[in-house]
Amino acid sequence: MRIFLTGASGFLGQHLMTALLSAQHEVIACTRKPTRWQAQYPQVQWLACDYTQDHQASVWLPRLVGVDVIINAVGIIQETTQQPFDALHAQAPIALFQAAEQLGIRRVLQISALGAETNTQTAYQRSKQVADNALWQLDLDPIIVYPSIVIGRGGGSTCLFSALAALPIIPLIGDGQQRLQPIHVNDLTICIVGLINHWSGRQRLALVGCEELRFVELLCLLRQWLQLSPAPTFSLPLALVYPFAKMNNLLKIGALDSDTLTMLQQGNYANVQALIDATGHTPRPLAQALATQPAVTGDRWQARLWFLRPLLRFSLAFLWIWTGIVSAFLYPIADSYALLAATGITGGLFAPVALYGAAGLDFVLGIATLFAYRLRWVVAAQCALMGGYTLLISYGLSELWLHPFGAISKNLPLLVATLIMLVLEER
């Protein structure tokens, strides 16, 4: 069958795409930047689309010609000003569903979120529910699936929970007894392919694992998967976690914001029997599913670096911002001019321009680093400045190479740390 897949470059989308190809289906994949994927998946027909803008059925009509099944796998767990929930989860999918109705493409599979089928409490779930309800009211034969937490290498939830599990002392949110029913991504794709191959239409199914786990059990299971020795746990009072989660709505350090915390607290579980009956597949216990993909060194690195990544960026940002402030306002101006004169920078106008220009540039680069704004260009400028400063000071103040505080030699590890930050921050 010809299957039209949105969100093909996401975590679920990529796994679905490979599973559909393995099942001998023809895949038409939609993503914002198809050229990035064409070489990796040449057997897929790639189309460019913009979920923040494609909100009219007429935009989707030419893309759907000859399509047998539509799968909407577009989903983000945290919204931004550039990618709001309403645009990606509601407006674009509804336009897609309306186009399907106009063309008579009756088989539409919508990947929603567990909890969106009930009285939702979060903006994330509400945006999913809007699209779900709109689809259900159309003259189609839809299947709406409600995934629980999806576990798999590279998944957002897996990365966050693995990072928590890899800490020397595992922090629990509250008492750690939140009820979860996670499903491995491979079981999820098996179930969805099964639904497509044996379409019955007009179903709403919870896509959950076969066993219920408590949050603390999930973290311990992931630590075991990472092949780390057992660690003690401690409880973080919700009174402390909620303010951080609310602040993280802006900072976006990992996936724990106010929405995800609310969803975790309300539980994430459902009866699995309807899924087994509909697909003929029983999801494996999570420990068994994880054992099929043993953790490697890269998984442990990622888990242990997860919380260090933002700390590295913030500390480097602080260094550049503080350097700019100290140079411009706190360090004695006469001493600054004396240092510049030693490197050959003198003059009634040239020295102040050099001093305050460099201080301003340091401050701007620090702010850009803090907010991860165009990091490739920022890091290139920082490396060029560090190299230039090092050469200039080595020429005029070479004795600083012998300074016990490492006045110049510190630039070398700083340069390496900056490059590591770029690697860790790039998506």
Q: What is the CATH number of the domain that holds 44?
A: 3.40.50.720
Closest by alpha carbon to 51, among 11, 107, 7?
Answer: 7
Q: What percent of the chain has pLDDT over 70?
A: 98
Q: What percent of the chain has pLDDT over 90?
A: 75
Lowest mean pLDDT among 228-242, 244-258, 309-323: 244-258
In a domain, 235, yes or no: no
The total number of structural domains that make up the chain: 2
Domain boundary among 120, 147, 174: 147
In a domain, 323, yes or no: yes
Tokens of 130: 């809007």
Amino acid at site 196: I
In a domain, 171, yes or no: no
Per-residue pLDDT band at 252 (split at 50, 70, 90): low
Q: How far is CA 143 from CA 111, 124, 135, 385, 410, in A?
A: 9, 20, 9, 56, 59
In a domain, 256, yes or no: no
In a domain, 166, yes or no: no
CA dihedral 6, 114, 90, 199 (to 10 degrees): 50
Can you tell me the mean pLDDT for 182-202?
95
Q: How many CB atoms lie within 10 A of CB 298?
A: 9
Tokens of 227: 């092949």
Rounded Cα–Cα distance for residues 123 and 55 (Å): 19
User: Which residue intervals of 327-410 are DSSP H helices?
Assistant: 333-342, 350-370, 375-396
In a domain, 255, yes or no: no
In a domain, 278, yes or no: no
Q: How far is CA 112 from CA 25, 143, 145, 406, in A?
A: 23, 10, 6, 55
Range of the domain at 92: 1-147
Tokens of 90: 């509601």
Domain boundary among 147, 171, 186: 147
In a domain, 201, yes or no: no
Domain boundary among 128, 147, 166: 147
Can you tell me the mean pLDDT for 391-411?
89
| SS3 at position 206 | strand
If you average pLDDT over each of 260-264, 346-350, 383-387, which comes out highest?
383-387
pTM of the model: 0.88
